[in-house]
Amino acid sequence: MNYQTIRYEIDNGILTITLDRPERMNAFNATMLRELIDAFDQADADDAVRVIIMTGEGKAFCAGADLEKGGDTFNREARAEEALGDLERDGGGMVALRIYECHKPVIAAFNGAAVGVGATMTLPMDIRLAADNARFGFVFARRGITMEACSSWFLPRLVGMQQAAEWVYTGRVFNAEEALRGGLVRSVHSADELLPAAHALAREIADNTSAVSTTLNRQMLWRLSAADHPMEAHKIDSRAIGYMGQSPDAAEGVTSFLEKRPARFSMTPGKDMPPFFPWWRRREFK
């Protein structure tokens, strides 16, 4: 797919997806929606990709929905030609769900403003870093709309109900330090240190861990944190540790530790996932 609104660049196991509409502050539109879903599809299918970083080109990460349609920006009936075949579905939610399903760790590097869907589509990402000039806003009530991109599910899990309620009910824009205090981001960096910090974190994962272990761990964390009883986690833990415990990667992980050398893991998500994966049934929109 030839991308118009994003860049897709792989360097030694790290995929950087850059939102690339700087003239519109990387505002989210129907083309970006399609391209992001395709990019995550490609990343999951490519065992050369170990970790994904998403950032923005220019002074913004993503200023939210593109408002060029004016009052009809959020009117689906008026914008039917841009829909992905289903007028009932929220486009930001389709991206968020695709990221949630991703097999690879995903890091957000907020280089600037992340407002509306620019913030909510990152909530299913695993780790978020921000430049010190970044700004955030869950501004929906100030635009006469509601939360989207599954953020009513993700945001309270990340920052707690009280903090989520304050940010959503007021709809105000807040700075990176407040995002850090509230638990939305992991760390704040100067602008020129942001991407190096994100890449260092990605390298730590890519260079030192089993790709299959990481894929399993990502899905276990996200899916089992919402289970209704720890027994559900125990069921999957037991299968996962049993499968990986007799795998070549486990043997290599222990041997390399004992021999005091870097591990050389050989298993890949494309070929070596356990028979019970996925253990969940696909949820349909209905």
- CATH number, position 169: 3.90.226.10
SS (H, E, C) 225-237: CCCCCHHHHHHHH
Same domain, 178 and 235: no
- pTM here is 0.93
Token duo for residue 272 = 């070596």
Task: For residue 37, give its domain range.
Answer: 6-205
Task: Provide the domain count of the chain.
Answer: 2
- What is the per-residue burial (b if ≥16 Cβ within 10 Å, else e) of 126-153? bbbbbbebbbbbbbbeeeeeebbbbbee
CB 244 within 8 A of CB 216: yes
Same domain, residue pair 162 and 258: no
Q: Answer yes or no: do 216 and 151 share one domain.
A: no
> Is the domain of 44 the same as that of 165?
yes
In this structure, the answer to whether residues 282 and 154 fall within a common structural domain is no
User: Could you tell me if 269 and 156 lie in one domain?
Assistant: no
**pLDDT score of 239:** 98
**Is the previous residue joined to 124 through a cis bond, with omega within 30 degrees of 0?**
no
Looking at the structure, tell me whether residues 226 and 101 fall in a common domain. Answer: no
**136, 37: one domain:** yes
Torsion angle of the four alpha carbons 123, 128, 134, 137, in this order, in degrees rounded to the nearest 10: 20
Residuewise pLDDT in 10s, the chain (286 residues): 799 999 999 999 999 999 999 999 999 999 999 999 999 999 999 999 999 999 999 999 999 987 665 544 555 555 555 555 566 789 999 999 999 999 999 999 999 999 999 999 999 999 999 999 999 999 999 999 999 999 999 999 999 999 999 999 999 999 999 999 999 999 999 999 999 999 999 999 999 999 999 999 999 999 999 999 999 999 999 999 999 999 999 999 999 999 999 999 999 999 999 999 999 999 999 7
182 lies in the same domain as 258: no
How close are the terminal C-alpha atoms of the chain, in Å? 29
Residue 225 in domain: yes
Cα atoms in the 13 Å half-sphere on the side-chain side of 241: 6
pLDDT of residue 1: 77
Amino acid 264: pLDDT: 97
Q: Looking at 185, 205, 225, which one is the last position of a domain?
A: 205
Residues 219, 201, single domain; the answer is no
Note whether 275 and 161 are same-domain residues. no
User: Does 283 lie in the same domain as 201?
Assistant: no
Unique residue bearing structure tokens 């600037």: 112
92 part of a folded domain: yes
Does residue 1 fall inside a structural domain? no
> So what's the pLDDT on residue 286?
79
User: What is the identity of the amino acid at 14?
Assistant: I
